[in-house]
Structure 1
Amino acid sequence: MDCVAMHTNSNSDSLYCIGGWDGSKQLSSCERYDVKSDVWNEIAPLNQARSGLACVVLDGNIYAIGGCGDDDQYLSTVERFDPGIGKWENIASLQHARYLSSACVVGNKVYVIGGTDEDENLKSVEVYDSTANVWTIDFEMEKPVFNATVVAI
């Protein structure tokens, strides 16, 4: 598995492992770990297998962002998982395909930072507005970055 997102609500605390690489192929499989019961369960798979993706939680939904797909093509696609419904849905795609990018949530918006595409490491930062279901390039960093970790405080 490749990506972990934490979802907390009044009923349970859960960790989600989403997609990834098993050494020979990208994965669409997803699992949820219930911290209270100490149990792992499979949940609905991603619509598209992906590794090297970024993940965040916004408004109780998990977002699986970019990555590398089955055909080793870098992805601009984004999927959203609603734990209450238990289903992944495709939402608006990124402006640029991104593999090994970083993501965080600030002020009810998803920020995706850097990564790499088919040609180069990226300096751009994309922002997702969930109300409008649209990604825009907000700004560029001075230097490209990929496979980094970001946090929002």
Structure 2
Amino acid sequence: MKKWLLVMILFVLAILQSHQVAQAATAEWKKLADLPEARIGASTGVVDGNIYIIGGGSYNKGYSDQTYMYDPSMNKWFEKSVMPTARGGAATVTIGNKIYVIAGGSEDRKFNSFEVYDAKKDEWTKLENVPFKSLKGAYNVQAGAIDNKIYVLGGGDEFYSYNVTTHEWVKEPQPSVIIKNATSVVLKGKFYAVSGNTKSIIYEYNP
């Protein structure tokens, strides 16, 4: 009896392994419908399985205020309401069905603009600007959401949180070094700023 059980287990394992090999063999990149316009430094967000591309620039038309939505189930792009401030290189945070776009810049301007897109209503709302003492420009602001707060690091030397419930900005402790043009991520309730400039560093903020 034990011998037959062992044979059955080995048989099942062989089938599973062959299935995994077949899946690996068919893994590939697939070209989908082109974005209506080329974009550099656009903001992105995902709501209800749809991908949103917001703002960004192009060589021919400069920076845009356009919002596009991609529906993977239809492989189609849809034009949505325009963002109040045309810009690129902005930080983006998605909470629920809302996409928050923070700071950024255009060809010759820098912004502290803070705006939110409600994907359910297809509606943009201007919020209170980020209270940075100086304008940071494109690609120099990082952001992430922890619980009901959005944490925003600007230029590596100013760090604020925004409470989406009370709509208030609060100054938070800043890193001990300036981390410009960094990359940020939130993991297990902590905010990480990675590298930036020529520094090979990572800083962690635990609220």
Task: Give the TM-score, by structure 2 length.
Answer: 0.64
Which residue in the other structure is 1:147 paired with?
181
Deviations 1:77-111 (A, max 9, x none): 11111111101110111011332211111122111
Structure 1 SS opposite 2:184: coil
Q: Distance in 1 between matches of 2:151 and 2:116?
A: 15
1:21-60 superposed matches below 5 A:
21-23=57-59, 25-60=62-97
Q: Is the 8 A contact 1:93 1:135 kept in 2?
A: no
Unaligned runs of 5+ residues in structure 1 are 116-121
Q: Is the 8 A contact 1:114 1:144 kept in 2?
A: no
Q: Is the 8 A contact 2:89 2:105 kept in 1?
A: yes
Residue 136 (structure 1) shift: 2.1
Q: Give the number of the structure whose alpha-carbon radius of gyration is greater.
A: 2
Residues 27 and 132 of structure 1: CA distance in aligned 2, closer, same or farther (over 3 Å):
same
Which residue in the other structure is 1:119 paired with?
none
Q: Which has the higher helix share?
A: 2
Residues 5 and 146 of structure 1: CA distance in aligned 2, closer, same or farther (over 3 Å):
farther
Q: Which has the higher strand share?
A: 1
How much is the aligned-residue C-alpha RMSD, in angstroms?
1.6
Task: Give the TM-score, by structure 1 length.
Answer: 0.84
Q: Distance in 1 between matches of 2:111 and 2:101?
A: 11
Q: Which contiguous aligned blocks of 4+ residues in structure 1 show a shift greater than 3 angstroms?
A: none
* Percent of residue pairs bearing the same amino acid type: 25
- Amino acid aligned to 2:116: R
Residue 148 (structure 1) shift: 2.4
Higher relative contact order by CA 8 Å / sep ≥ 6: 1 or 2? 1
Unaligned runs of 5+ residues in structure 2 are 1-38, 188-207
